[in-house]
Amino acid sequence: MKSVWKLKGMLFFFHSSMTIMISYLPVYFQFLGLSGSEIGLLLAVGPAAAIIAQPFWGYMSDRWKTVKRILLLCLSSALAIGFIVFQINEFILLLPLLYLFFSFMSPAGGLGDSLAQKVSVQRKVSFGSIRMWGSLGFASASLIGGYILSAIGIVHIYYVFAFFLVIALVFTYMAPDSEPSKKPVKLINAFRLLKDKRLLIFFVLILSISLTHRMNDSFLGLYIVELGGDESIIGIAWFIGVFTEATVFAFSVYLFRKFHPLTYITIAAAIYVLRWSFMSVVPDANYVLIVQVLHGLAFATFYLNAFQFVSKLVPEELESTGHLLFISVFFGVSGVIGSILGGMIINTFDVRSLYILMLGISLIGLLSSLIYRYFYIQREKKQAIASN
């Protein structure tokens, strides 16, 4: 169990470092004097890099039979490249450097979750009980980071980020690696995943839900500023949302054992609809703090069940590849579309208008999840009858 604690420590401090990127990077770009459309493009670079990098590093971890070593490579590379990124303030130079940075930083989150899921199965512990430490790290750093950056200035964002990432590297070095599958991994089998209709349709489903989630990730800070808040309010907002998320992860072993994972995914989609409804009408930044409770309920319910559902859809030897493909869609594809579209909406209208659009998209996601759940469960029933 001690080795599992090292894994929890890795997730805690890695997600602490990710907090700084997700919560404050838009504010940092605004400090540099970049326009809304430029910020949108820069925020899209990370997800664009993730689309290729996440499945690639997921496949390499399956191929080389190690998640831990790939994770060490990604974290150390992100630390080094990040130092260069935050010395640059010209938009045209930031584009390629950010792409390179996120080619290593983005896959690290998925690899960490994949490692946690595999170790949880092998050690017979709850995946949620391990993953919750990532959420606690995110919540803690969002609160502390907000006050630190308010005190020292957003210009010093890299040093706060690097502090957390270095500690994450130490824990990763000490953490256990997963027990590799004995089955050989071939590139042709990885490509066959892209022909699996159940998997592809599921990815289309989650795109309609994750798109709104990623838009909020990118522009929540700007919305709070537009409503009259500052960096400390941004930090508190993320803390409330992610602390709720961690609580759901912690009790997931009790919460998500009664119904089918697709049922919980549908419930999460409904919560997203409710969340964006409230966000589109909040009068000031203080009300955002109340609505943030719904973040944890929606994201933790959706992510945990979707992550484990993907494990059922892919072969054991390609589990990390499947996980990283899922995360590539959730954080990558939706992040690119969300950042660019969000930047355009903000330039033309305002951030509140963006949340109205997100409400409409989430309604499509809710309807899609209901349809997918119906047909998938009907298929399971037919297969059960045929087997009997």
147: CATH: 1.20.1250.20
In one-letter notation, the amino acid at residue 360 is G
Whether residue 183 is contained in a domain is answered as no
For residues 355 and 223, the answer to whether their CB atoms sit within 8 Å is: yes
The predicted pLDDT at position 169 comes to: 96
Whether residue 55 is contained in a domain is answered as yes
Whether residue 184 is contained in a domain is answered as no
In one-letter notation, the amino acid at residue 165 is L
The predicted pLDDT at position 185 comes to: 63
Residues of the chain with pLDDT under 50: none
Whether residue 182 is contained in a domain is answered as no
Whether residue 62 is contained in a domain is answered as yes
- Residue 364 lies in domain: 2-173+189-387
For residues 34 and 42, the answer to whether their CB atoms sit within 8 Å is: yes
**For residue 239, how far is the Cα from the chain centroid?**
16
For residues 388 and 285, the answer to whether their CB atoms sit within 8 Å is: no
Specify the number of domains making up the chain: 1
Judged on CB neighbours under 10 Å (0-12, 13-18, 19+), 293 is middle
The predicted pLDDT at position 171 comes to: 95
pLDDT tens-digit map of 281-322: 999 999 999 999 999 899 999 998 998 898 888 887 788 778
Q: How many CB atoms lie within 10 A of CB 238?
A: 27
d(CA 388, CA 385): 5
The predicted pLDDT at position 149 comes to: 87
Whether residue 304 is contained in a domain is answered as yes
Whether residue 178 is contained in a domain is answered as no
d(CA 268, CA 309): 14
The predicted pLDDT at position 344 comes to: 87
Judged on CB neighbours under 10 Å (0-12, 13-18, 19+), 321 is buried
- DSSP class of 316: G
Whether residue 113 is contained in a domain is answered as yes
Q: How many CB atoms lie within 10 A of CB 387?
A: 6
Residue 35, classed as helix, strand or coil, is coil
